[in-house]
Structure formats: C-alpha cells, structure tokens
Amino acid sequence: MRGANPVRLGLGRLVSLATSLRSQHAAILSNMFSLYLQAFEHYQPLGKRVLHVLTTLPAEVQQDFLSDTRFTVSLDNFVPGEGSTVFMAVPGGTGVGSRSVVLRPRLSECDEAFAHYVIAHEFAHAYLRNGPWGDISDVENAADALAAAWGFAQPANPPWVGR
C-alpha cells in the first residue's frame, strides 16, 4: 500500500520535516513581528535587536503580544540635545496595564547585550502589565527577573545613566 502512512516515515525524513516546520514557524513569526518593527526601519541595528528579542521570547509570551492590539512597540521621539544621555527605554502610555513599549533610538548605538537586556526588560513590563512577577513585588526587579529568565540578564556593568 502506498500513500501517507506516518509510521513509515524514516527518522531522517522526520528530522527534516521538523526542521522545515521550525524554519517556517520562524519565518511566520518574523513576518508577524514585522508589524511591530516598521517604526525601526530606519533605525538599524535597533530594529534587528528588537526582532532578535521578540523571536527569542517563549511562545506563550509571543502569542500574548500578538493577540493583544494594545501591545505596541514604538520609537521614542528623539529631540536632539534633550534627554539623549538616558539610555534606558521609557515606559510608554499611562496607567496600570499599559502595554506600549517605547524604545530610545540610542539603543541602536549602545552595546548589543545591553540593548537586548533593555528591550527584554521593557517587554517583561508589557507582559506583566507593569505589575509584579510571582513573589517579586517591585515592578523593576520583576521585569529584570523575567528578562533574565528569558535569557537577557542585566549586564554586569550596565552603561545607563538613568532608568
């Protein structure tokens, strides 16, 4: 009997199928995330840094963001000579439960690991809706801990001036 009998798929075929599904999944994700990245089109490598963090997040976090229209990522309006020494991303929107992430253009210029950490920290705030995480009631510590759990721990000597 010929035809699709999954039991008869060899291991090699299964592995290549899984690999192709994984790369299709990655392509679909980066397509979906590209909606968030339009603001960063002319701010590279910041756009690439944001995409790297988004594609590294756990699937349930990605789903949560993608399914919520209140989740947005935007570029801070840069005013030359004003506030340019502040590396830290600023929390966007107002009030409890805000899910807007606003990133500063200088995240394009600073150390890559630091930029990834800041971006993940801001996404952690958005995921936690600016709230605590488990037993961690301080929202800044909660965002740091969750970012670290995602693989973006705070660098040993963060170059920030303010936060």
Question: Which parts of this chain interact with Zn ion (CB under 5 A)?
Answer: 140, 143
DSSP state of 158: -
Rounded to a whole number of angstroms, the minimum distance from the CB of residue 137 to Zn ion is 14
Rounded to a whole number of angstroms, the minimum distance from the CB of residue 130 to Zn ion is 9
Rounded to a whole number of angstroms, the minimum distance from the CB of residue 54 to Zn ion is 18
Between 22 and 163, name the residue whose CB sits nearer to Zn ion: 163
Between 29 and 71, name the residue whose CB sits nearer to Zn ion: 71
Between 120 and 143, name the residue whose CB sits nearer to Zn ion: 143
CA–CA gap between residue 90 and residue 75 (Å, rounded): 10
Rounded to a whole number of angstroms, the minimum distance from the CB of residue 31 to Zn ion is 29
Between 29 and 91, name the residue whose CB sits nearer to Zn ion: 91
Smallest Cα–Cα separation from 106: which of 130, 132, 82, 131?
82
Question: Which pairs count as long-range contacts for 142-149, CB under 8 Å and 24+ apart, including other chains?
Answer: 147/117, 147/120, 147/121, 147/123
Task: Give SS3 for 101.
Answer: strand
User: How many Cα atoms occupy the beta-carbon half-sphere of 135 within 13 Å?
Assistant: 0
Between 112 and 140, name the residue whose CB sits nearer to Zn ion: 140
Rounded to a whole number of angstroms, the minimum distance from the CB of residue 144 to Zn ion is 8
| 150 within 8 A of 109, measured Cβ to Cβ | no
